[in-house]
Structure 1
Amino acid sequence: MNRKRAVVSVIGKDQVGIIAKVTTVLAENGFNVLDISQTIVEEFFTMMMVIDVTNSNRLEEVRELLNAIGEEMGVQIHLQLEEVFQEMHRI
């Protein structure tokens, strides 16, 4: 079975709870985090996660939930299928 993956990216001012809120939404909707990278430079926070979305048809609903968290916390959160992400960043 081929695994279907997506990329979640988060950028904004660092604050308590960003990782917790994002990963809670993912876990509650059956998405597994396969890889995660997070960096804080001064007060700026960046995070990228690769998640398994193979067994879920809730991608749009989760995208909306993450957008709501982003608005609440003042950060940008993007959820894209891996193929879309790769095409957008291909040189």
Structure 2
Amino acid sequence: MKKEGKDLAIVLVVGEDQTGIVAQVADFLWKENINIEDINQKIMQGVFVMTMLVDMAGARSDVGVVGPKLEKLGEKIGLSIQIQHHKIFEVMHRV
């Protein structure tokens, strides 16, 4: 979804809570020149859940390239990390 020159996407991180999750994901996004617009995190019955609204407008790569890199980071730190364009996320979660 493009909004005011932005190319928004949703990053979802799920897994066992551990130190440094936010830092590692934020560091990855920073290196890819992806801006974090909003972030929400919660521990639900011992499971860490974080959603991020990110702006891909200045990113070095598109979602198709960033997605597998995030999945690889997730595997490295024992988490599930996914990214979807904001528009796809909205359509999939429409009630």
Normalization by structure 2: what TM-score?
0.86
Give me the identity figure in percent: 34
Higher relative contact order (CA 8 A, sep 6+): 1
Counterpart in the other structure of 2:75? 71
Please provide the CA RMSD for this pair: 1.4
Q: 1:23 aligns with which of 18, 23, 26?
A: 26
* Structure 2: unaligned runs, 5 residues or longer: none
In 2, are the aligned partners of 1:35 and 1:50 still within 8 Å (CA)? yes
Cα displacement string for residues 18-68 of structure 1 (whole angstroms, at most 9, x for unaligned residues): 111111110001111000001113421000000011123512332122111
Distance 2:59 2:33 in 1: 7
Normalization by structure 1: what TM-score?
0.90
State the Cα distance separating 1:80 from its structure 2 match: 0.4
Q: 2:42 aligns with which of 39, 43, 48?
A: 39
AA aligned to 1:40 is I
AA aligned to 1:10 is V
Q: Tell me the secondary structure at the aligned position of residue 78 of structure 1.
A: strand
How many residues align structurally?
91
Counterpart in the other structure of 1:82? 86
